[in-house]
Amino acid sequence: MSSQQQAATVSAPPTQRKGVIWWGLLVCGLVALGCLGLAKVVPGLSAMLAAVVLGALWRNLAPVPAVLEPGIGVSAKRVLRWGVVLLGLQLSLPAILDLGPGLLLIVACAVGITFLATLGIGRALGVDRDLTVLIAGGFSICGAAAVAGVQGAVRATQEKVAAAVAMVVLFGTVMIAVMPPLVAALHLGAGDAGTAIGGATHEVAQVVAAAGIAGGGSILAVAVPVKLARVVLLAPVVAGVSLVKRRSLGRSQAAEAAGGDEAAAPGAKRPPLVPLFVLGFVAMVLVATTGWVPAPVLSTLTWVQQFLLATAMFALGLGVHVRSLVKLGLRPLLLGVCSTVAIALVVFGGIALGLGARV
């Protein structure tokens, strides 16, 4: 090591030294373990929900030691992406196709219409563009994992990612309380009730909780596959967002070269068509489809995936600054309401047309 490199290492603040990353990772991991244990004791509690709430409470009620910040940043980004990759092992293409053309049409319309409607409503409300895209992905596809996938395409700031995740937690929790009495009031059978809960609720864990409250059993057996069918659409949606982003940057860079007004930021790089971790997600879906993974190994990897996402959710919770969220105003909350209503209308519309599951 040269004298200049040695001087740079000595002068670097403690929070920038590589070894310090492990302190933040350790704290996030320990909290995630606690949340997973708590979820087993408290029926219907999502470990990810508990983790993000605990992180937000800590950030806003007590100081977070600076030495933890590097590890928190790694947990919120890299650990989250590994959790998304392993999420693919929960999906099997034959199981999704077995839902039948009617249910698959509901899923495709729920994701596509909700995503596009959220983008349009967000633009009309004047909500930040990147935040709108993150909310559209999280609400239409699969919650926090989709927020992470879309973030890889739009390169949104960590603050916007945390805000979108907070919105998913808020509205997904509301859906746990709303969906069971709603499907009961509409006198839906188990198949249609499972279709409604799986098609309109944001997170997988929230779907499990809502279906369990609604009656469990046959409702849960439909709700989870319907929800996972929405998760499968993560890759094509992220690819579409990336393509639009690349074209937008290309036009901005061309305008910059021509001396136009809409110049891109100097040195701006186009995002990959599909982020690498989303390709990993697709690869895991294909691995799960082969059926080669033994059940005990799959069970262990499922727990690891839940642990990684809970670790990341705690880190994202630590990124939730109440003052920053307040500055966003009521318009993002209104967008969340509109997005939730949109996906519910599409799903219940499909059920009214007789496309729901028959159990």
At 336-356, the pLDDT tens digits run 999 999 999 999 999 999 887
- The Cα 205–Cα 340 span in angstroms is 17
Q: Is the pLDDT of residue 183 over 60?
A: yes
Which CA distances in Å does 348 have to 180, 245, 288, 327, 345? Answer: 14, 32, 30, 34, 5
Looking at residue 215, what is its pLDDT?
82
Least confident of 102-106, 225-229, 259-263: 259-263
Looking at residue 8, what is its pLDDT?
42
- The Cα 311–Cα 54 span in angstroms is 11
Burial class (CB in 10 A: 0-12, 13-18, 19+), 165: buried
For residue 118 the two structure tokens come to 């959220």
Angle value at C-alpha 292, between 288 and 293, nearest 5 degrees: 70
- The Cα 106–Cα 104 span in angstroms is 5
- The Cα 146–Cα 313 span in angstroms is 13
Supply the angle between the helices 158-185 and 190-200 in degrees, to the nearest 10.
160
Query: Binning pLDDT at 50, 70 and 90, where does residue 91 land?
Result: confident
What mean pLDDT value characterizes the chain? 83
Query: Binning pLDDT at 50, 70 and 90, where does residue 136 land?
Result: very high
Q: Helix, strand or coil for residue 204?
A: helix
Query: Binning pLDDT at 50, 70 and 90, where does residue 15 land?
Result: very low
Question: Over the stretch 267-290, which tens digit does the pLDDT of each residue have?
Answer: 455 556 667 887 888 899 899 999
Q: Can you give the residue ranges of every domain in the chain?
A: 83-352
Supply the pTM of this predicted model.
0.77
Mean pLDDT of 188-198: 92
Q: Which of 312, 313, 335, 282 is nearest to 125 (CA)?
A: 335
Looking at residue 146, what is its pLDDT?
87
- The Cα 286–Cα 153 span in angstroms is 22
Query: Binning pLDDT at 50, 70 and 90, where does residue 254 land?
Result: low
